[in-house]
């Protein structure tokens, strides 16, 4: 009688090349958008004055934080329900745009309204995307 050979225990499944490309694409996308966000924030903070070391570090800090949050959402967002995933992207976009708008020396209320409407728009679009591409 033939018996199956004992199998070693796998604690995680190996990553396929398609999954590796998705994670790599998410990292590249996050880094590029973080670069754009950091440069934009540094330019707005500078307010047509001279470029200083503080402006450069401020831009780097904003870009790194933006890229880290965006990569985290791209990596761990699919584990959430589609409603929470869309809401997370909406909140992230609303906070990011509202913060950039606050750097223009407008009122806090106006920055909040701009961030709120941006977040609602991005959240609705993300929910539509996740709802129509459901498994």
For residues 107 and 100, give the distance between their C-alpha atoms in angstroms, rounded to a whole number.
12
Longest dimension (CA), the chain: 84
| Residue found under tokens 């106006």 | 110
Each residue's pLDDT tens digit, 84-108? 999 999 999 999 999 999 988 889 9
For residues 64 and 24, give the distance between their C-alpha atoms in angstroms, rounded to a whole number.
17
Q: Kindly state the average pLDDT of the residues 23-34.
A: 90
pLDDT given at position 94:
96
Each residue's pLDDT tens digit, 43-56? 988 877 788 898 89
Each residue's pLDDT tens digit, 4-23? 666 666 565 555 655 556 67
| Residue found under tokens 């699919």 | 78
For residues 32 and 9, give the distance between their C-alpha atoms in angstroms, rounded to a whole number.
39
Burial environment of residue 113 by CB neighbours within 10 A (0 to 12, 13 to 18, 19 or more)? middle
Domain boundaries of the chain, sorted by first residue: 25-79, 81-134
């Amino acid at each position: 009688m033939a018996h199956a050979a004992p199998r070693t225990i796998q604690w995680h499944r190996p990553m396929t090349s398609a999954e590796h490309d998705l994670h790599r694409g998410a990292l590249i996308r996050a880094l590029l958008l973080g670069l754009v966000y950091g440069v934009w924030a540094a330019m707005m903070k500078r307010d047509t004055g001279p470029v200083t070391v503080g402006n450069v570090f401020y831009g780097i800090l904003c870009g790194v934080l933006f890229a880290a949050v965006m990569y985290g959402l791209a990596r761990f967002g699919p584990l959430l329900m589609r409603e929470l995933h869309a809401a997370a992207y909406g909140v992230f976009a609303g906070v990011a745009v509202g913060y950039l708008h606050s750097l223009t020396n407008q009122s806090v209320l106006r920055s909040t309204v701009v961030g709120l409407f941006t977040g609602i728009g991005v959240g609705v679009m993300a929910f539509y995307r996740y709802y129509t591409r459901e498994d």
